[in-house]
Amino acid sequence: MNAWRLSSRLLLRQGRSGALWMLIIGLGVAAAALTAVTLFTDRVGRALEQQAGEVLAADLRISGRARPADALEAQARELGLSTARLLDLDTVVYSDNESSLFEVKGAGDGYPLRGRLQVADAPGAADRPADGLPGTGEAWIEPRGLRALSIELGDPIWVGEQALTVTRLLTYEPDRGDGPFALAPRVIVALPDLLDAGLLGPGSRARHRLLVAGPAEAVSAYEQAVRPTLDDRTRLTTIRDAENQTSEALDQARRFLAVAALTAVVLAAVAVLLAALRFAEAQRDLVAVLKAFGARGAVIQRAMLLMLLGLVLCAAALGALGGGIGQHLIAEILAGNLQEPLPPVSLAPLPGLAAFTLLLAVGFALPPLAALRHVPPMRILNRSLDQRPRAGALGWLLAVAVALLLPVIQLGQPRLALYVLGGSAVLALALALAAWGAVRLTRALAHRVRGTYRFGLAGLGRREAMSIVQTTALGLGLMALLLLMVVRTELIDQWRASLPDDTPDHFMVNIQPDQADALREELAALGVEGLQVRPMANANLVAITGETPPDDAFTGQVNLSWIDRLPPANVVREGRFWSPDATGEISLASRWAERVGVGLGDRLTFDGGGQTFTGEVTSIREVDWGSFNVNFFLLVTPEAANQLPHQYIASFRAPPDRLEALDRVARSRPNVTLLDVGALVDRVFEIIDQVSRAAQVVFAFTLAAGLVVLLAALEATRDQRRSEAALLRTLGAERRMVRGGLLIEYGVMAVIAAALAVAGAAVVGGLLARELFGFDYRPGVGLFALGFGASVALIVGAGWLGNRSVLQTPPVRILRER
């Protein structure tokens, strides 16, 4: 008989066997969980990517003093990318009554390519997404711009030679540029209007921008093609370069989802391992018969391989289907909570997933199946003549390692994968060792205790290899579930809490030094929370260790501040922060230092209004930009206050019912500008919320995979337990003894697995929190108590339920068993 026919017969013959279904279900659920999570994570990832694009209102931006050539735009369009043009300039805008400095944006068709403008139809009215852009002759203006010009909606304003009508209030621009620190109010007009305003003469400070967006591959192809052709006065920015609070939150969101996906991977791997072991075991009798009837070992091996391939195909197809439906459900559930529709499903991850299923199956199932060729035909006469296959061949490890590598590559989060998978591997090792030790210990102990205990403890020893595999599998499964629980609840809660309740939602800028003290008192009287008032000087960087600095957006005009001690949300990475009475020292944010190419020991000279400050860089800081604190790239020692003209900037959280009063405080000083960044803070909380909801749904999927692991683990030894129970009952053991033995056996296993799983989840959770999410995670007592209790109850309970049939086994079965 050839291998094809044999394998198809083998498969057919096993239609009724639980082992076959267990393996198909194990592989199928593994594939489905991973498919759903990966497809969904990929979708959300792309959605987040697009949201990250909001920072630029595009995926890529080319900007310069000169207008980017039309060729650049044509090139982008050839690649199927969408484009839009922008023109930004600072100019004085006039109304009938007043004039004021504004940041004017001329928006070309298509702007914004990412994100949306938000507008309101009246001061104080709720805002809504804008459809389109200001038409010819229209201007949309920031609410504070109305105050600055003493006008109302519908009044005319002049930008250069253009007369425009203010038709809407602009409440949100995705690419607000300088963030909340922009001093001047903003106005947005149609690009042709601004081009015709007569403001673009020589010496104008206008900045031209070309926005580009589209599929990630096309964008990066475009970036590679274009970047080398740009001169050094033209700057190309991608979302990777953009850093602000929103992108930071988005980054963390992606990491949370990746953790969820990885835990699903770990569970899937464990489920497949258990199912495969059981399947291979179930094949042994069959193979003995085949051999007894004269089948050659090589044919059997080939047949097993073919059978496995068939199974993998079925499981992968089922998994892809189930996963596709699953991710669709997830998206449906979330749809109501999402601001914008998710991008369509991409099939790109599917081949990788199929390969994952195949490798997992091959890695875990093939070695025991291949070992079947060595089953002695004598087994048919006497089962005890059959030597068990030996575990731990190197071949397994390779296939499994490659299998696990795939999702790591797909998720593109190597460090995070290292923590989750590495943590799992270490835990697996610890579990296996602990289980091995426990088996040894119980063997010794079994001889010292009596009755039921001896049975239970001896039960662990009787199935030494299986006990170790089961404990390891259960522990890993539990850790994955607990880890997800940690991520879902504690990590996200603590992340949210790491943005304190007094996260500033208002900034007050352009406060003159002689106004600072009085304002501080008035704000405090209003009951604002988290008030910080920091000095800020706008200066030119004129020299780096005696040399002229390169022309870069990061040099030229910079904002710097001084302080006598390290501000919150800052960590010194290199050097030491100065003592309160130090002078002539500078501390740089690492990003700025890297960008400009400055390090410890360099001397920087700043010029502000003819006065200069020179200092030496003595420390490099890591700044948590996500904290919404007022942070500065450049900090200098306090004596700079006497050398550089400066103003103050205040940040605080305003009580919602004191906004009117706050407005009056700001208006009483014409130079002071009040900025409401509440919308930005809300945006970040919204992202956190979305992510926690997504993680919750993914959690359900992972839970399903976890339950399969549990079932597979219990199923793996059931036949053996049944025979054993029958034999014991025949020898006269009471049911209580068999039951007590089961409980003790599972109890020991549960305690080991749960204890290590809880510890593993706490450690890995802590690592993830500190290294990747940037806050200190304190595992709650809840995790320990609840996680441990629930785990033990789950294992013992499931072991109990899963083995009811064992207890019901009629002893007479032994007479009919071969």
Partner 1 sequence: MTREHSPSDAADGAARPLLVAQDVGFHVEAPGGRLDILHDINLTLMPGETLAIVGASGSGKTTLLGLLAGLELPSTGGIELAGTALERLDEDGRAELRRRRVGFVFQSFHLMPSLTALENVMLALEIAGVDAPRPAAEAALREVGLGHRLDHYPRQMSGGEQQRVAIARAFAPEPALLFADEPTGNLDRRTGDQVAELLFRIHRDHGTSLVLVTHDPALARRCDRTAVIEDGRLALQPDAATPA
Cα Rg, the chain, nearest whole Å: 34
Which residues contribute to the site for partner 1 (CB under 8 A)?
Answer: 381-387, 454, 458, 461-464, 723-724, 727-737, 810-812, 814-818
User: Minimal distance in Å, beta carbon 730 to partner 1?
Assistant: 6
User: Minimal distance in Å, beta carbon 386 to partner 1?
Assistant: 7
Identity of the residue, 682 or 817, whose beta carbon is nearer to partner 1 in the bound complex: 817
Burial class for 135, CB neighbours closer than 10 Å (0-12, 13-18, 19+) = exposed
Identity of the residue, 202 or 732, whose beta carbon is nearer to partner 1 in the bound complex: 732
For the chain, the straight-line distance linking the first and the last C-alpha, in angstroms and rounded, comes to 27
CA distances from 341 to 46, 48, 72 (A): 11, 11, 30
Identity of the residue, 451 or 655, whose beta carbon is nearer to partner 1 in the bound complex: 451
CA distance 769 to 773: 5
Q: What's the longest Cα–Cα distance across the chain? A: 107
User: Contact, 121 vs 168, CB < 8 A?
Assistant: yes
CA distances from 498 to 495, 640, 680 (A): 5, 32, 16
User: Minimal distance in Å, beta carbon 23 to partner 1?
Assistant: 23
Identity of the residue, 382 or 548, whose beta carbon is nearer to partner 1 in the bound complex: 382
Burial class for 767, CB neighbours closer than 10 Å (0-12, 13-18, 19+) = middle
Residue 168 gets the label, from left (phi > 0), alpha (psi -120 to 50) or beta, of beta
The residue type found at 332 is E
Burial class for 732, CB neighbours closer than 10 Å (0-12, 13-18, 19+) = exposed
Identity of the residue, 454 or 534, whose beta carbon is nearer to partner 1 in the bound complex: 454
Q: And the tokens for 757?
A: 């799983």
Identity of the residue, 233 or 450, whose beta carbon is nearer to partner 1 in the bound complex: 450
Identity of the residue, 106 or 461, whose beta carbon is nearer to partner 1 in the bound complex: 461
User: Minimal distance in Å, beta carbon 264 to partner 1?
Assistant: 34
User: Minimal distance in Å, beta carbon 390 to partner 1?
Assistant: 14
CA distance 775 to 494: 8
Residues 6+ apart with CB under 8 A from 158: 93, 94, 95, 164
User: Contact, 330 vs 36, CB < 8 A?
Assistant: yes
Identity of the residue, 611 or 730, whose beta carbon is nearer to partner 1 in the bound complex: 730
Residue 644's SS3 state is coil
Identity of the residue, 414 or 810, whose beta carbon is nearer to partner 1 in the bound complex: 810
User: Minimal distance in Å, beta carbon 727 to partner 1?
Assistant: 6
Identity of the residue, 458 or 598, whose beta carbon is nearer to partner 1 in the bound complex: 458
Nearest to 602 by CA among 536, 540, 547, 539: 547
User: Minimal distance in Å, beta carbon 709 to partner 1?
Assistant: 24
User: Minimal distance in Å, beta carbon 440 to partner 1?
Assistant: 14
Sign of CA dihedral 498, 499, 502, 508: positive
User: Minimal distance in Å, beta carbon 375 to partner 1?
Assistant: 13
User: Minimal distance in Å, beta carbon 723 to partner 1?
Assistant: 8
